[in-house]
Structure 1
Amino acid sequence: MRERATRRAVLAAGTSAVALLAGCSSGTEEENDDAPTNGDDSAHSVTMEPVGTVEFDDVPESWLAYESDYADMGVALGLGDGLRAVGEPDRFHTDYYDELGVSYPEDPTPLWNDGVDEELFYELDADVHLVDPNWLEHNEAFGLDEDDVAEIEANVGPFVGNTIFRRTDEWHDYEYYDLYEAFEKVAQVFRREDRYEAFADLHGEFLEEVESHLPGEDERPDALLVWEGTDEPEEFVPYRISDEGAGNKQYRDLGVDDALDGTGIDGLSTSDRGTIDYEAVLDVDPDALFVRGHEDKRRDEFEDTVLAYMQEHDVASDLTAVENERVFRGGPIYQGPIYNLFVTERTARELYPDSFDDELFDREAVSKIVTNGA
């Protein structure tokens, strides 16, 4: 595990040298007007594991994210125009933003291209990297090591981020944050706490409304969550719904049980890339099956491809979920506050059609928060 005590030691000593680690160009007048004062002008600090405390001389303007949950947080704060790159643009789901009519970059630079090129960070020259540095170091396919990440941090800009989308990686032995805890930290980076607080209030009201209409516990399904992005799937990468990562938040909020509990089957991690076939799925025989990798499809397109294939399959056709047509898109792996609202609404309406029919949150209210902070 990479130790990041150097920055914390510097801060504890009270030296001003830490400012060199996080110097950013001045924020716009609008950004500074939005931000509550926190000392002199734009200077502020943010503390988040695993990096510790980072001090900023100014409000960052340009930024990047690897996981799209952090990209979504930035867009939710009204900062979409400053996003320079994401890990994989096909996991940056902009259809939600189109529905809200909010600003976002249409073609962010991909950080992933058969690996992650250290030099690209220098070319992008972002003021802040919303990335857990340990995520970069512990994914062998990225091709980065501790020294590479340290050089980017020292020569380009700081890292602020924590891998929140799952909780199955052995190397993540430090504090986890839930979705809104991480979102609050990002809001502090950009001094847009007002937008965070407005989102948190709206999200709390949304959950209260959803919970008030959920069916009784004995009427809620157990479900299997897997990944397979092809239209004719034969094997799947399993996820654990019981994993408290942010990527599974909608299932927890909707009272969905994990069909893999007690089976001994683990979820995906950087060290476990195991798969299961239809025979294994049939042994579990979940009430509902959620398949990730199909966020680019509408419900009818998913039914005409993935579900139709399963209905004709020798083994899959025997699954209870297939017989009852309770096979659904699994939602984004990475979920920020905007993604989560839409995906929770969709999942509620698909799982509990007798309880949920209309839109469950106010699109106009969300759009106003993103654009105006209220």
Structure 2
Amino acid sequence: MTDTNDTRHYAPTRRDYVKYGGALATGGLLAGCADDDATTAGETTAEPTDGTDTTTAADSSYSVTMAPVGEVEFDAVPERVLPYYPISAGATIALGHGDAITGIGYDKQLFGNTVDYYYDALDGVSFEWEELGRVTPSGEPGTLDTELFYELDNDVHFLDPCLLRSSSFGWSEADIEAIATDVGPWFGNYYSRTNASPPACEGDYEYYGLWEYIGKLAEVLRERERYEALKSVRDDLAATIEDRLPPAEERPSLAIVAYSGGTFWPYDFTQDGYLWNHVRPFGATNAFTTTEGGPGSDGAYDYEGMVEAEPDVVLRYWGTALGDTFIEGREAVLNDPLAEEVPAFRDGRYYPSGHGMQGPVMNLFQLEMTAKQLYPDQFGAWPGYGDGKRYPSVPEDERLFDRERVTNVITGDFE
């Protein structure tokens, strides 16, 4: 269980450390975790709690608790933030703190294009990512630029220390503690994406639903009201989807794939975790369930495998960020001699899909997008990929959520 007595006072950041020349002490960074009973909690109903908020008129400090980092105390709302993944970047922007972002992770262009694709569809909201730092060096996805963490001097790092300790990055506990002590704390829960067991952390690990996790980030940024306003939009959208879904026997079989050069790599979108929050509500059957290779992403399929799977709809995972690459790939897929034997390709139902590391705005658009791609008769037809740079224009009477309402929340007009 998470040790709620393990409170860390992280906001003297490195700036104060340098100013006062003192050593900032922290305990063991990775607090314990919670029971397995929590693995599916909060997918649609969770809200940020007050945690152990200690704010008073004379003391602006507050604390937020989340596995695996335990209880983290802040002396003030973070003014410099490293989100790393689109989920935390999107949440930071949507919660009104986009100007606090100093850097992002992995492929900078794909990252920026992923978030831009949705935010550019909202008037008056943007994500200026081009000049941000990138803590994953280009061409070296398994490394992090340690010095850049010091140069960016963030008040909080939205990254999971269990991920840092895994073979993906190979950091030691000492490496992690040094950044937390000298710069700012870690605050992330990476493995809730698929509810997988962290390979580098001992004991159990608590999992959060997508909006529960976003709520934790909202607590850090002291944006409970904004969070609740955004979540109300999501709850309304979820209710609309539930009300209009056709009976189970009328739902299509679906394949979600990565694709390159005639090879399709499947994803199991029926697994637990927030990665498939934008697909799970639609109750579609995984087309690969009955094939020899199975539904997971460990295998690969050629066109003969796709003929065997017979998907009614095929979605290209992360296709929304690929622009011309997706457009050209789609043309090649649909023009293959075997395309006529695959129902989805024969009917032209091969669409770009989103990315599972989704912040609140991405989630709203991706739910709407998936609804239209899978059920055009119930939700209106998907208008097409357009220029591949932004979410396509949807007629106002066919939109499944209110864009202006979302924009107003982000810009602060939500009372």
Please show how residues 118-133 of structure 1 align to structure 2 within 5 Å.
118-133=146-161
Q: Output the CA distance in 1 between the equivalents of 2:75 and 2:318.
A: 40
Task: Please state how far the C-alpha of 1:22 moved relative to its aligned partner.
Answer: 3.8
Task: Please state how far the C-alpha of 1:112 moved relative to its aligned partner.
Answer: 1.8
- 2:182 is aligned, of 134, 155, 168, to 155
Q: Which amino acid aligns with 1:286?
A: P
Report the counterpart of residue 99 of structure 1 in structure 2.
Answer: 121
Report the counterpart of residue 275 of structure 2 in structure 1.
Answer: 247
* SS of equivalent residue, structure 1 residue 360: coil
Assess if the C-alpha contact under 8 Å between 2:333 and 2:339 holds in 1.
yes
Report the counterpart of residue 190 of structure 1 in structure 2.
Answer: 221
> Does residue 1:276 correspond to 2:301, yes or no?
yes
Assess if the C-alpha contact under 8 Å between 1:22 and 1:54 holds in 2.
no
Report the counterpart of residue 39 of structure 1 in structure 2.
Answer: 55
When the two chains are superposed, the root-mean-square deviation of aligned CA atoms in Å is 2.7
> Does residue 1:67 correspond to 2:85, yes or no?
yes
- 1:261 is aligned, of 272, 289, 292, to 289
* SS of equivalent residue, structure 1 residue 253: helix
Assess if the C-alpha contact under 8 Å between 1:116 and 1:144 holds in 2.
no
Task: Please state how far the C-alpha of 1:176 moved relative to its aligned partner.
Answer: 1.1
* Structure 2 alignment gaps of length 5 or more: 17-52, 381-397
* SS of equivalent residue, structure 2 residue 208: coil
* Structure 1 residue runs of 4 or more that deviate by more than 6 Å after TM superposition: none
Task: Please state how far the C-alpha of 1:111 moved relative to its aligned partner.
Answer: 2.1
Task: Please state how far the C-alpha of 1:219 moved relative to its aligned partner.
Answer: 1.4
Q: Output the CA distance in 2 between the equivalents of 1:353 and 1:305.
A: 24
Assess if the C-alpha contact under 8 Å between 2:4 and 2:65 holds in 1.
no
* % identity of equivalent residues: 35
Please show how residues 111-260 of structure 1 align to structure 2 within 5 Å.
111-113=135-137, 114=140, 115-140=143-168, 142=169, 144-163=171-190, 164-168=192-196, 171=199, 173-228=204-259, 230=260, 233-260=261-288
Task: Please state how far the C-alpha of 1:258 moved relative to its aligned partner.
Answer: 2.2
Assess if the C-alpha contact under 8 Å between 2:6 and 2:70 holds in 1.
no
Task: Please state how far the C-alpha of 1:373 moved relative to its aligned partner.
Answer: 5.5
Task: Please state how far the C-alpha of 1:316 moved relative to its aligned partner.
Answer: 4.4
Report the counterpart of residue 77 of structure 1 in structure 2.
Answer: 95
* Structure 1 alignment gaps of length 5 or more: 12-17, 27-36
Q: Output the CA distance in 2 between the equivalents of 1:304 and 1:67.
A: 25
Q: Output the CA distance in 1 between the equivalents of 2:339 and 2:178.
A: 50
Task: Please state how far the C-alpha of 1:38 moved relative to its aligned partner.
Answer: 4.5
Q: Output the CA distance in 2 between the equivalents of 1:285 and 1:168.
A: 29
Residue deviations 1:225-284 (CA, integer Å, cap 9, x gap): 1223x5xx322332211122222112112222222336563645xxxx553333333332
* SS of equivalent residue, structure 1 residue 39: coil
Residue deviations 1:347-368 (CA, integer Å, cap 9, x gap): 1112211111211111110011
Using the size of structure 1 for normalisation, the TM-score is: 0.83
Q: Which amino acid aligns with 2:283?
A: G
* SS of equivalent residue, structure 1 residue 159: coil
Assess if the C-alpha contact under 8 Å between 1:168 and 1:243 holds in 2.
no
Task: Please state how far the C-alpha of 1:330 moved relative to its aligned partner.
Answer: 2.2
* SS of equivalent residue, structure 2 residue 289: coil
Task: Please state how far the C-alpha of 1:82 moved relative to its aligned partner.
Answer: 0.5
Q: Output the CA distance in 1 between the equivalents of 2:177 and 2:308.
A: 47
Task: Please state how far the C-alpha of 1:43 moved relative to its aligned partner.
Answer: 0.7
Q: Which amino acid aligns with 2:218?
A: A
Assess if the C-alpha contact under 8 Å between 2:163 and 2:198 holds in 1.
no
Assess if the C-alpha contact under 8 Å between 1:302 and 1:329 holds in 2.
no
Q: Which amino acid aligns with 1:63?
A: V
Q: Output the CA distance in 2 between the equivalents of 1:118 and 1:274.
A: 35
Assess if the C-alpha contact under 8 Å between 1:23 and 1:58 holds in 2.
no
When structure 1 is superposed on structure 2, of 301-310 and 66-75 the one drifting more is 301-310
Q: Which amino acid aligns with 2:144?
A: V
Q: Output the CA distance in 2 between the equivalents of 1:116 and 1:355.
A: 45
